[in-house]
A and B are shown apart, each in its own frame.
Chain A
Amino acid sequence: MNLKLKALTRSIWVFHVSAGSCNNCDIEILDLLTPRFDVERFGIQLIGSIRHADALLITGAMNKKSVPRMKKIYAQAPKPCVVVAVGQCALSRHMFRHSYNVEEPLDSILPVDVYIPGCPPKPEAIIDGIVKLVAKLRKNA
Chain B
Amino acid sequence: MKAIFGYLIFPGFLFSACVGLLAGWLDRKVTARIQWRVGPPWYQNFVDIVKLLGKETIVPEAGRATFLLSPYLGLLSLVLVSAIVGRALLAPSESFAGDIIVVVYLLVMPAIALLIGASSSRNPLASVGASREMKLLLGYELPFIIAILTVIIKAGVTVHLGEIVDHQRNFGSLIFSPSGAIAFVVALLCTQAKLGLVPFDMSEAEQEIMAGVLIEYSGLPLAIFKLNKAVLLYVMPVFLISLFLGKDTGPLFVALKFVAILVAVVLIRNTNPRLRIDQALRFFWGPVTVLALLGLLLALRGF
Contacts and interface: CB of A to CB of B under 8 A. Distances in A.
B55 interface: yes
B210 A8 contact: no
A51 interface: yes
B37 A3 contact: no
Given A7-B47, A80-B55, A38 B215 contact: no
Contacts of A38: 32, 37-39
A48 B201 CA distance: 14
Interface residues of A, number: 24
Contact of B50 (A3, A35, A42, A51): A3
A8 B222 contact: no
B48 A43 contact: yes
**What interface size band does chain B fall in?**
20 to 34
A98 B58 CA distance: 39
A69 interface: no
Interface in B226-247: none
Given A51-B218, A78-B57, A11 B51 contact: yes
Contact of B32 (A40, A43, A51, A76): A40
Contact of A48 (B51, B57, B206): B206
Contact of A47 (B41, B211, B219): B211
B211 A48 contact: yes
Contacts of A54: 51, 55
B54 A8 contact: yes
Contacts of A4: 50-51, 53-54
A40 B214 CA distance: 21
A10 B38 contact: no
Given A7-B50, A11-B47, A40-B37, A48 B210 contact: yes
28 contacts: A4-B53, A4-B54, A7-B47, A7-B51, A7-B54, A8-B51, A10-B51, A11-B47, A40-B39, A41-B37, A41-B38, A41-B40, A47-B206, A48-B215, A49-B210, A49-B214, A49-B215, A51-B211, A51-B216, A51-B217, A52-B217, A54-B55, A78-B55, A78-B56, A78-B218, A80-B54, A80-B55, A80-B56
